[in-house]
């Protein structure tokens, strides 16, 4: 069934650009939007592309310190590094007008949250957002301002009592977790590659929330090499029961596509087909547990041509209520644009040709299986705080 979808967009979102050698290249967003247009996703009567405004300093101050905001503004003018704020590192190079570009991304995510909260649309998306590593007083992991945390903080300011955040990026959603670690109004769930093998080195199942918020930070740390079926088994074992218990007023999700086997910066082995299953599952859970109120953000993803555009086109189509047949060819006009824009050979189909089958965790726990061990570690750490039995 079709769902109303607000897409927060401005061409200026592609100005969040750390330079030609940096892995977080804005062309991935450009190619995603182009592919969506070729499939007519934005022409659907229930989909609206809406203008955005940069987040003000006052708004950014909901999650970031004033001195850090000033440092970002200054660095974008002087182009000089500022070590205390992690500006000018190899991960977070300074670039001209960095504050303006980052504030626009943040503003887009707040606009998406407002569209859902104010009843303009059931679902809303900022595909250029999901910069989940940024901390209150420093840049971190390619992220200057934490638009995901800002959208959640804005919802709380409007009176929301329960906001759930589900992060499926291959990297731990450490910035969002940090900002709400002591707040039981926000349930943060992150499924990511183990901190033993990947940045940022956090996200262990024992990180469960601060005093008064025990069990409201949830971390599923998956071993390198986890594939579609095992990843989805972990998701099914943790996310639906917690969301059903928590009953959020709004579901905010970060949809990093860097779990894919082709991603150059990580070690999970998902396919576009497995990622498409994640989007469908989150859509269902938004309807079941959050009254359909779903805020969709982008995130990581560093295979810029083969993975991100296809994955996020499936995501936006799913959020509109009508997915794209994975077996269809990619449009010839889009393939031509990819070659012109990047010089690379584009993918020919919207599928990786994988058949995804999932055995539910409830069917039996294998104590020798590393994914099952990760699942059980998380359930034991947080389920009792919610009155739930981790063994069921």
Q: Report residue 189 as tokens.
A: 């769930």
- The C-alpha atoms of residue 263 and residue 388 are separated, in whole angstroms, by 36
Residue 1 has pLDDT above 70, yes or no: no
Tell me: the pLDDT tens digits for 285-337?
999 999 999 999 999 999 999 999 999 999 999 999 999 999 999 999 999 99
What's the mean per-residue pLDDT of the chain?
Answer: 97
Reported in sequence order, the residue ranges of 53-129 that DSSP labels E, i.e. its strands, are 123-126
Q: Which positions ≥6 away from 341 have C-beta within 8 Å? A: 27, 30, 31
- How confident is the model at residue 214, as a pLDDT? 98
Q: Report residue 203 as tokens.
A: 């996200």
3-state class (DSSP) for residue 254: strand
Residue 136 has pLDDT above 80, yes or no: yes
Q: Report residue 127 as tokens.
A: 């595909």
| pLDDT level of residue 363 (50, 70, 90 thresholds) | confident
- How confident is the model at residue 392, as a pLDDT? 78
- Cα of 148 vs its chain's centroid, Å: 8
Tell me: the pLDDT tens digits for 55-98?
999 999 999 999 999 999 999 999 999 999 999 999 999 999 99
Answer for the pair 254, 130: CB distance below 8 angstroms, yes or no: yes
Complete DSSP assignment for 9-43: --GGGGG----TTSSS-THHHHHHHHHHHHTTGGG
Q: Report residue 305 as tokens.
A: 């041509």
Residue 362 has pLDDT above 90, yes or no: no
Q: Report residue 174 as tokens.
A: 């450490």
Complete DSSP assignment for 243-266: HHHH--SEEEEE---TTBTT-TT-
For residue 139, give the DSSP letter. Answer: -
> For 26-46, what is the mean pLDDT?
98
- How confident is the model at residue 185, as a pLDDT? 98
70: left (phi over 0), alpha (psi -120 to 50) or beta: alpha
Answer for the pair 204, 175: CB distance below 8 angstroms, yes or no: no
- The C-alpha atoms of residue 356 and residue 230 are separated, in whole angstroms, by 10
Residue 372 neighbours by CB distance under 10 Å = 18
- The C-alpha atoms of residue 123 and residue 295 are separated, in whole angstroms, by 6
Phi, psi of 33 (to 5 degrees): -60, -40
Q: Give the CA diameter of the chain.
A: 59
Instruction: Choose among 249, 276, 248, 272: nearest CA to 262.
Output: 272
Name residue, tokens 């990843």.
231
Answer for the pair 85, 255: CB distance below 8 angstroms, yes or no: no
- How confident is the model at residue 59, as a pLDDT? 98
Answer for the pair 122, 285: CB distance below 8 angstroms, yes or no: no
> For 160-189, what is the mean pLDDT?
98
- The C-alpha atoms of residue 128 and residue 298 are separated, in whole angstroms, by 6
Answer for the pair 175, 200: CB distance below 8 angstroms, yes or no: no
Task: Tell me which H or E stretch contains 165.
Answer: strand 163-167
- The C-alpha atoms of residue 78 and residue 92 are separated, in whole angstroms, by 15
> For 360-373, what is the mean pLDDT?
92
Residue 391 has pLDDT above 70, yes or no: yes
Exactly one of 133, 171, 172, 283 is catalytic; name it.
133
- How confident is the model at residue 2, as a pLDDT? 65
> Is position 386 annotated as part of the catalytic site?
no
- The C-alpha atoms of residue 154 and residue 150 are separated, in whole angstroms, by 6
Complete DSSP assignment for 295-331: EEE------TTTTHHHHHHHHHHHHTT-PPPTTSBPP
Residue 157 has pLDDT above 80, yes or no: yes
Answer for the pair 180, 186: CB distance below 8 angstroms, yes or no: yes
- How confident is the model at residue 8, as a pLDDT? 98
Angle between helix axes 27-38 and 332-342 (nearest 10 degrees) is 160
Residue 252 has pLDDT above 50, yes or no: yes
- Residue 349: exposure state from Cβ atoms within 10 A (0-12, 13-18, ≥19): middle
């Amino acid at each position: 069934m079709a769902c109303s979808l607000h897409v927060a967009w401005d061409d200026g979102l592609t100005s969040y650009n750390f330079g030609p050698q940096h892995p977080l290249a804005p062309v991935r967003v450009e190619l995603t939007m182009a592919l969506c247009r070729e499939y007519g996703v934005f022409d659907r009567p229930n989909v609206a592309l809406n203008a955005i405004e940069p987040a003000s300093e006052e708004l950014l101050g909901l999650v970031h310190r004033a001195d850090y905001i000033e440092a970002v503004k200054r660095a974008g003018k002087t182009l000089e590094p500022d070590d205390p704020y992690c500006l000018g590192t190899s991960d977070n190079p300074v670039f001209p007008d960095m504050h303006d570009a980052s504030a626009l991304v943040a503003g887009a995510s707040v606009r998406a949250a407002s569209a859902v909260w104010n009843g303009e649309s059931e679902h809303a998306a900022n595909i250029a957002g999901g910069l989940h590593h940024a901390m209150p007083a420093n840049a971190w992991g390619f992220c200057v301002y934490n638009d995901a945390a800002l959208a959640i903080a804005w919802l709380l300011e409007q009176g929301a009592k329960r906001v759930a955040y589900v992060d499926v990026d291959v990297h731990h959603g450490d910035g969002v977790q940090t900002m709400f670690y002591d707040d039981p109004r926000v349930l943060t769930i992150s499924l990511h590659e183990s901190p033993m093998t990947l940045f940022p080195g956090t996200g262990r199942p024992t990180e469960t929330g601060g005093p008064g918020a025990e069990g409201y930070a949830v971390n599923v740390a998956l071993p390198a090499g986890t594939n579609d079926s095992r990843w989805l088994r972990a998701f099914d074992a943790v996310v639906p029961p917690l969301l059903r218990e928590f009953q959020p007023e709004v579901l905010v999700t970060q949809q990093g596509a860097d779990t894919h086997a082709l991603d150059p910066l990580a070690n999970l082995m998902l396919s576009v087909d497995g990622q498409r299953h994640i989007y469908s599952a989150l859509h269902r859970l938004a309807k079941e547990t959050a009254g359909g109120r779903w805020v969709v953000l982008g995130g990581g993803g560093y295979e810029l041509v083969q993975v991100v555009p296809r994955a996020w086109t499936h995501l936006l189509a799913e959020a509109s209520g009508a997915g794209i047949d994975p077996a269809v060819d990619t449009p010839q006009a889009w393939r031509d644009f990819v070659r012109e824009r990047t010089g690379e050979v584009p993918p020919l189909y919207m599928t990786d040709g994988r058949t995804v089958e999932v055995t539910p965790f409830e069917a039996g726990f294998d104590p020798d299986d590393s994914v099952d061990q990760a699942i059980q570690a998380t359930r034991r750490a947080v389920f009792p705080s919610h009155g739930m039995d981790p063994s069921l």
